Chains A and B, each alone.
Chain A
């Protein structure tokens, strides 16, 4: 039972344009959502998060939107830069502070 899903395994965008990464979840008990960036053979690096009581959080080029009724969140990166190329994981916090991760989306930003 995959409670957090990232349906797009990959996304390719041009430098300077917007990158939109999507994530869906099924468990309404999740109270906090996080986005991580990961390079191969490294641990995830925290990017941005959002509480379930909010619908938007912005930090520089990164904005996360939460649509609780649709159980959907998205990460917007604008403008996208080649250095943003990595795998992005959506994670949801549930019981016992456990994080449940999505499958990840490989973002490629082309110069």
Chain B
């Protein structure tokens, strides 16, 4: 099936620095990428939807200036957490519609564990 490669799998950064997370679709073109965040023992919460060549759509309550999303090509979407703070520590996951799963399928990256110290 389709694969979304997400990097890094974990990162520790100092408060105030920025961190970039990459998601690449390896064997298909992802015109859309969904970005989620999961806090411990909680649900996956959709943060934003990125579309190749256009601005990302952010969910209510998500700061677009803090979570910068870029979808510059059909195979790469990035999420940059700017001026990270400890409360941004979370598990971030990307997802793209998976043509191999039929019209309604999605494939997920392996996730990035972000710890801000």
Contacts and interface: CB of A to CB of B under 8 A. Distances in A.
Interface of A: 2, 4, 9, 32, 34, 36, 41-46, 49, 51, 89, 93, 96-104
A8 to B, nearest CB: 13
Interface of B: 4, 6, 9-10, 32, 34, 36, 41-46, 49, 57, 91, 93, 95, 97-98, 101, 104-111, 113
A104 to B, nearest CB: 6
Contacts of A100: 46
Contacts of A34: 104, 106
Majority-rule SS of B interface residues:
strand
A2 B44 CA distance: 12
B97 A89 contact: no
A89 B43 CA distance: 8
Most buried by A among B6, B104, B107: B104
